[in-house]
Amino acid sequence: MNRLDNCVAVVMGAGSIAPGWGNGKATAVTFAREGAVVACVDANMSAAQETAEIICSEGGKAHAYCADVSIDADIARVIAEINQKFGKIDVLDNNVGIARLGGVTDTSEADWDLVMAVNLKSAYLAMKHVIPIMVDNGGGSIINISSLASISYSGIPYVGYSASKAALNHLTRVTAAEFAARKVRVNAILPGLMKTPMVSSAPEVVEAYAGGLDVEAMWAVRAAQVPMGHMGDAWDVANAALFLACDESRFITGAELVVDGGTSL
């Protein structure tokens, strides 16, 4: 349908942490398939390049960039490079995220600070540098990838992850309110139990859900918690992001789109 024709989209976390399709990778490819030129940004340059190469192999347009999204200088540099190359930024997808297992009493200060920097500070920094560009060009759409963990407890303690994503929700709301009159829309997606490489590549998650048995056992446990009977995947998040990126959602801002197969019910 080419819903993003003539758009420049920046996807933060466009690589995949392990083989397969992570949310950022699927979102970058989906944006490109709908006509966007995609700037694929990741801390791992080879992962960003892999996503960009997939897009180009399909006839799309993409460029890879390397940045630590928790560092202001890195974000400022890469956003300036993208803006200089393309002259605008229409869509920003903040898709980075990490989790560390643990509750309040057993999460280390170092883990807390790291999770907050990657999950929350990164979105603040990206929006800080992208919003002025969007305002100068008449508006844009920002999608922050939060989590169902921001509004509910799954029984697995990820206190830093949950708190950072809850803060991201409110950062989304207040930024949406501040910039609505300047035609910058800001929305959040809250994925539920998803079947992605970020989950399967974390031994502590397999241990928490399935007693360390194996990844397939973990998938079965997680799927059983979803009313629809199965988990979602990266393409479900990507399609939600596409809706929020394009003009079909032009009257939506400050929203939290839950993508969870009914788990939150």
Domain count, the chain: 1
**Residue 209 placed within a domain:** no
Catalytic residue chosen out of the listed positions 65, 158, 161, 209: 161
Provide the pLDDT for residue 199.
Answer: 82
**Residue 201 placed within a domain:** no
**Residue 118 placed within a domain:** yes
Secondary structure (DSSP) of 57-116: HTT-EEEEEE--TTSHHHHHHHHHHHHHHHS---EEEE-------B-TTT--HHHHHHHH
The reported pTM is 0.96
**Residue 42 placed within a domain:** yes
Q: What is the mean pLDDT of each run of 10 residues along the chain (265 residues)?
A: 94 92 97 98 97 98 97 98 98 95 96 97 98 98 98 92 98 98 98 88 76 83 94 97 98 98 96
Query: Which residues have CB under 8 Å from 216's CB, separation 6+?
Result: none
**Residue 182 placed within a domain:** yes
**Residue 115 placed within a domain:** yes
By CB atoms closer than 10 A (0-12, 13-18, 19+), residue 32 is buried
Range of the domain at 56: 8-192+234-250
Q: In residues, how long is the chain?
A: 265
Please tell me the distance from the alpha carbon of residue 92 to that of residue 23, in angstroms, as a whole number.
14
Q: Could you confirm whether 158 is annotated as catalytic?
A: no
Beta strands across the sheet bearing 140-145: 61-66, 37-42, 8-12, 91-94, 140-145, 184-191, 256-259
- CATH number, residue 119: 3.40.50.720
**Residue 210 placed within a domain:** no
**Residue 223 placed within a domain:** no
